[in-house]
Amino acid sequence: MTVDVKGFFDPETGTVSYVVSDPATSRAAVLDSLLSFDPKSGRTSTACADAIVAFVRDAGLTVDWLLETHVHADHLSALPYLKRQVGGRTGIGANLPAVQKAFKDIFNVERDFHLDGRQFDRLFADDETFLVGTVPSRVFLTPGHTPACVSYLIGDAVFVGDTLFMPDSGTARCDFPGGDAPTLYRSVQRLYALPPETRMFICHDYQPGGRPPAFETTVAEQRARNIHINDATTEEAFVALRIARDRTLNMPVLILPSVQVNIRAGEMPPPEDNGVTYLKIPVNRL
C-alpha cells in the first residue's frame, strides 16, 4: 500500500522528521519530531514542531501515532508538545529500558524515575504489527547505532532512523553506550532483505560536499551504492571501517541535553524547588 510521506528537514541538526499518512483514511503517524534547543541560552523553540502541526491541520490528518526510531542524541524530541497539539499515541522500541539503564547513573536520575519504558504509550517488540489508518505496518528491531533502535515499515515505506544514512553517507556511529558495529551490520542485512523497491527514509542528512538535503532512497539503491554497507561489504570490513571512523568523531553538540530528555519521552526532568527545570552536565563521564 502506498503511503503519503512528507519530510521536514532541520538544517540546525540535520534531522528529518516525517508525517506518514494513509490516503484512504487521512490517518497519520509522525516520526522523530524535534524540539529545537539553544545550548547557549537554554531556550527551547517549537518552530520545527509547529511546521508539522500546521501541515497536519492543513491536510486534515488525524494523528494515530507519534513514533521515535530511537533515543536521539543530537536533538530533543517534541513528543509531549505534539501530543498536546495533535494527539496520538507515543511509541518506541521495546529495548528502551536498556538505554534508560545505561544513562541512569550518568545523569543520576531521580529515585522514582521508572526504568521500564512506561513513559511511552507503547513499546514495540520485534515484528510487532500496527495500523496507520488502514495501512499495515511492522516494527523491526534494528539495534547497533543504539541498543533500542527500531525501523518502521509503514505500507511501502520503511523509516530506518539512524540505521542507515543516504547511500553517499553510509551509516551512523556505533560508539554511544550500548552501540555495536557488528550488530548494526546484521540489522542492515534485515532491512536489505525487504523488497528492493521499498522506499527508504532516513533520519539524518549531513549534506556531504554541500549537496542539497536528501532523505529518500530505496532498498535497491542502498544495496547497490551505500558507501559503508552494500551487497559487496563483509561484516568484518564494515566493522573495521566503522570503529576507525567512530574514533575520529566528536560528541554531538546536544547529546547531554538530548539524552536526559529523550529517555523521558521528551519530558523535561522535574523542576527544582524554585519551579525552574535544569538540565545536567555530568563532568568527565562521557
In the complex, which residues of this chain contact Fe ion (CB under 5 A)?
Answer: 72, 162
Select 99 or 153, whichever has its Cβ closest to Fe ion: 99
**79 phi, psi to nearest 5 deg:** -50, -50
Q: How far is the CB of 203 from Fe ion (least distance, A)?
A: 7
Q: How far is the CB of 175 from Fe ion (least distance, A)?
A: 12
Select 72 or 83, whichever has its Cβ closest to Fe ion: 72
Q: Among candidates 36, 99, 30, which has minimal Cα distance to 68?
A: 30
Select 41 or 250, whichever has its Cβ closest to Fe ion: 250
Q: What does the radius of gyration of the chain's CA atoms come to, in whole angstroms?
A: 18
Q: How far is the CB of 126 from Fe ion (least distance, A)?
A: 19
Q: How far is the CB of 260 from Fe ion (least distance, A)?
A: 15
Question: What would the grid cell of residue 105 be?
Answer: 547513573
**102 phi, psi to nearest 5 deg:** -65, -30
Q: Which residue is nearest to Fe ion (CB)?
A: 162
177 HSE (CA, 13 A, CB side) = 19
Q: How far is the CB of 29 from Fe ion (least distance, A)?
A: 19
Select 204 or 223, whichever has its Cβ closest to Fe ion: 204
Select 3 or 94, whichever has its Cβ closest to Fe ion: 94
- Cβ neighbors of 4 (< 8 A, separation 6 or more) are 20, 21, 22, 23
- Cβ neighbors of 41 (< 8 A, separation 6 or more) are none
Residues 113 and 97: beta-carbon distance below 8 Å: no
**123 phi, psi to nearest 5 deg:** -110, 115
